[in-house]
């Protein structure tokens, strides 16, 4: 399983685009697509048929406003296979509303291209399984576990972890989690110190932290020192960093 951290920023960081991660097994899945993601994605890959699915964790602009331009360029460039948008039951309504505002009649162009797959607990998509759990965020957010026969990766979307998401993360090969601050507890977000405790208490093999608040990002050295002192397998991926699990 190949993981590409396309972009690792929060909503308003001038130096880092919105968090978006690409999972590549046989199927290619994009996790979230905020307003600053499409350009980064096109620089990475211009094949209109490259993606098989896009998972949307929640309806904040920095996690899904990039969908209309991404889809319109796929159509312009001649996509000829289905693309599945995966998320909660209101996903179709939200995406159509956004497309109508952004590019009128885009829904007609995409009629034969996009499909929607609602996930409640667990669903199968191609060779992969998707399982979701709700985190504590200011709007409904799904953390997701994506697994094949032998590997599993979790992505938090946004939100503080809770019993439900902790049990989703348990025994995963990699957990990709938002880390908004170093030690300040902000409602609806996770911080480094709590994530270190999570990693220590649960059997997570590797923990990648992204979506750092722009002010916390300025203290990257301090963050890396805290991580080193923890002795745990935790890292802050750089944009476009790629790992295999």
Positions in the binding site for Zn ion (CB under 5 A): 60, 158
74-105 burial by CB neighbour count: b if 16+ within 10 A, else e?
A: bbeeebeeebbbbbbeebbebbeebbeeebee
Shorter beta-carbon distance to Zn ion: residue 74 or 91: 91
For 48, phi then psi, to 5°, come to -65, -20
Shorter beta-carbon distance to Zn ion: residue 54 or 114: 54
Shorter beta-carbon distance to Zn ion: residue 19 or 199: 19
Distance (Å) of CA 187 to CA 139, 181, 228: 12, 11, 26
52-62 burial by CB neighbour count: b if 16+ within 10 A, else e?
A: bbbbbbbbbeb
Shorter beta-carbon distance to Zn ion: residue 60 or 79: 60
Question: What distance in Å separates the CA atoms of residue 85 and residue 110, rounded to the nearest whole number?
Answer: 12
With contact defined as beta carbons under 8 Å apart, do 54 and 29 qualify? yes
Q: How far is CA 208 from the centre of its chain?
A: 12
Smallest distance, Å, CB 181 to Zn ion? 14
Smallest distance, Å, CB 57 to Zn ion? 8
Shorter beta-carbon distance to Zn ion: residue 147 or 161: 161
Smallest distance, Å, CB 81 to Zn ion? 30
Shorter beta-carbon distance to Zn ion: residue 140 or 230: 140
First to last CA, the chain: 5
Smallest distance, Å, CB 137 to Zn ion? 6
Smallest distance, Å, CB 211 to Zn ion? 9
104 three-state secondary structure: coil
Closest CA to 188 of 139, 138, 141: 138
Smallest distance, Å, CB 207 to Zn ion? 20
């Amino acid at each position: 399983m190949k993981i590409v951290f396309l972009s690792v920023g929060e909503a308003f960081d001038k130096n880092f685009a919105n968090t978006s991660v690409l999972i590549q097994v046989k199927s290619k899945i994009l996790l979230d697509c905020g307003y600053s993601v499409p350009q980064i994605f096109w620089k990475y890959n211009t094949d209109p048929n490259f993606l098989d699915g896009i998972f949307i964790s929640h309806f904040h602009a920095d996690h899904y406003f990039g969908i209309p331009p991404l889809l319109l360029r796929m159509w312009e460039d001649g996509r000829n296979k289905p693309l599945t948008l995966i998320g909660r039951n209101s996903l179709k309504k939200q995406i159509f509303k956004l497309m109508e505002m952004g590019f009128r009649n885009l829904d007609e162009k995409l009629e034969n291209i996009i499909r929607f797959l609602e996930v409640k607990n667990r669903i199968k998509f191609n060779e992969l399984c998707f399982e979701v759990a709700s985190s504590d965020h200011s709007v409904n957010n799904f953390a997701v576990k994506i697994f094949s026969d032998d590997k599993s990766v979790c992505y938090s979307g946004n939100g503080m972890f809770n019993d439900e998401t902790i049990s989703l993360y348990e025994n995963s090969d990699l957990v990709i989690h938002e880390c908004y601050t170093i030690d300040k507890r902000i409602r609806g977000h996770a911080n480094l110190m709590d994530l270190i405790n999570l990693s220590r208490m649960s059997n997570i093999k590797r923990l990648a932290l992204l979506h750092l608040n722009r002010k916390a990002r300025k203290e990257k050295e301090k963050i890396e020192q805290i991580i080193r002192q923890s002795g745990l397998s935790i890292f802050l991926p750089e944009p476009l960093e790629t790992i295999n699990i």
